[in-house]
Amino acid sequence: MEILKNFIVFEGLDGAGTTTQSKLLSGKIKNSFLTNEPTGGRIGKLIREALQKKILLKPETLSYLFVADRNEHLYSEDGIINKCNNSRIVICDRYFFSTIAYQGLSMNIDDLFYLNSKFQLPQILFFINTSIENCRKRINKRGESEELFEKISIQEKILNNYFISIEKYKNSSMKVHILDGNLSIDELLNKEMEILKENNII
């Protein structure tokens, strides 16, 4: 799979801190563009309804929706690829690694790799490795209703699927950085900035 330069992705369990860190990092980089998956488009909104259990979908259907949403996210006229090719640094909160980790609970993981095989890898993948206990505390603090994949009993399986996907691309040119999510917000941000400077991205 090809690498998309200037493309940075944050991944981790729900509550790991991906949203916080992606926002903070984007605020530090002048020419950055912050985005997320699922997107705010029509397909992304349908996905969120399924995750919130407002509608019931087969696992395969949900996976196809993620792929369709991602295809628009990347390849549309105002999509990620065009932004990266025009010297914007795109920071994305979640990408296909999340699809593999979460949908891999109910689908064959090799099928998920195949479905996402056309999509470019990010130049930098930040995986925030936060303890399941801390993730759970943060989710409870939000006061939000529990989404489809937030039960503690399945978090270890999701985490394992994440590491399977990281291992899958270990020989690619994508730079993977596993960060200690139990560090303070500022410590994490400083590490991310150092990594981006070392890779001549900023």
List pLDDT tens digits, range 133-176.
899 888 888 776 566 666 777 899 999 999 999 999 999 999 99
- As a whole number of angstroms, the distance between CA 96 and CA 113 comes to 9
128 within 8 A of 10, measured Cβ to Cβ: yes
pTM beyond 0.85: the answer is yes
Alpha carbon separation from 43 to 53, 79, 102 (Å, rounded)? 16, 15, 18
Q: Which domains does the chain have, with CATH numbers?
A: 3-198 (3.40.50.300)
List pLDDT tens digits, range 23-33.
999 999 999 99
